């Protein structure tokens, strides 16, 4: 099964049974995802949507970029599966890739991808063979990030050095870890990797970076609502649209 198909299948499988809200390419957001985004712990789908949006709206402006945004469900598979080689068909083609972003979840239950309680971000520089870990709750996901680094290194066939970023901005509460992951991901992608020259050394430090988690939630909601309105417009204009289906952008 191709990477995108597997990611979409797992994303939908791990979703709650709430009502569909927006179908955006390979991601199906539900009303439960929207509720979580307004003030709770972000779901797999929230983060997967953000990655999908960055891939569709940002990365096309940088055709030479070789960056992979691995979905939470695929990162979970990578960390929990016993046979790493057995999930090769679910993984993207990492050849010529320079950097990989991985949302890390602390769930250790192989049967529940949504069973954890904390998100952090792992950014792997394949060209430098270093994995940078950004944890907004101290070292809460230190073990999980190290495990993911080791397993990804085995997939890539290269040793990866693990580096915990001690200057990562810290969340002020128990629910904003996923928002921090999304904001840090976009900042590192747009402000660091995509604007750097081919021979330029990129700093991965987040020293002094301020995170507005409330503003981040509002911005993500604005993006979703804008896409939903566009999906509704397309649905109403199409003679082939099926009734009782969520607005769709594809």
- Active-site residue among 148, 168, 177, 182? 177
* Contact between 72 and 146 (Cβ < 8 Å): no
Strand order in the sheet with 248-249: 27-30, 20-24, 248-249
Give the Cα separation of 73 and 45 in Å (integer).
9
Structure tokens at 164: 């915990």
Give the Cα separation of 175 and 41 in Å (integer).
5
The helix or strand, by DSSP H or E, that contains position 224, with its residue range, turns out to be: helix 213-237
Give the Cα separation of 208 and 197 in Å (integer).
23
177 is catalytic: yes
- Active-site residue among 99, 106, 118, 168? 118
118 is catalytic: yes
**Which residues carry out catalysis?**
118, 135, 177
């Amino acid at each position: 099964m191709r990477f995108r198909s597997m990611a979409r299948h797992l994303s939908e499988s791990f979703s709650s049974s709430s009502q569909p809200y927006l179908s955006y390419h390979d991601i199906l957001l539900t009303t439960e995802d929207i509720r979580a985004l307004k003030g709770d712990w972000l779901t797999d789908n929230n983060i997967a949507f953000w990655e999908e949006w960055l891939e569709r709206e940002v990365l096309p402006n940088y055709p030479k970029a070789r960056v992979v945004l691995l979905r939470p469900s695929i990162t979970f598979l990578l960390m929990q599966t016993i046979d790493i080689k057995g999930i090769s068909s679910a993984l993207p083609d990492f050849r010529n890739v320079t950097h990989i972003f991985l949302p890390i979840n602390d769930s250790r239950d192989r049967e529940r991808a949504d069973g954890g309680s904390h998100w952090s971000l792992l950014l792997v520089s394949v060209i430098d063979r270093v994995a940078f870990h950004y944890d907004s709750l101290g070292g809460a996901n230190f073990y999980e990030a190290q495990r993911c680094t080791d397993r990804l290194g085995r997939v890539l066939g290269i040793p990866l050095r693990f580096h915990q970023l001690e200057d990562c901005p810290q969340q002020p509460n128990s629910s904003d870890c996923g928002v921090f992951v999304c904001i840090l991901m976009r900042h590192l992608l747009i402000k660091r990797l995509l604007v750097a020259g081919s021979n330029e050394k990129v700093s991965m430090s987040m020293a002094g970076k301020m995170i507005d988690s409330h503003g981040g939630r509002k911005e993500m909601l604005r993006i979703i609502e804008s896409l939903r309105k566009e999906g509704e417009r397309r649905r109403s204009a199409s003679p082939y649209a099926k009734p009782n289906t969520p607005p769709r952008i594809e």
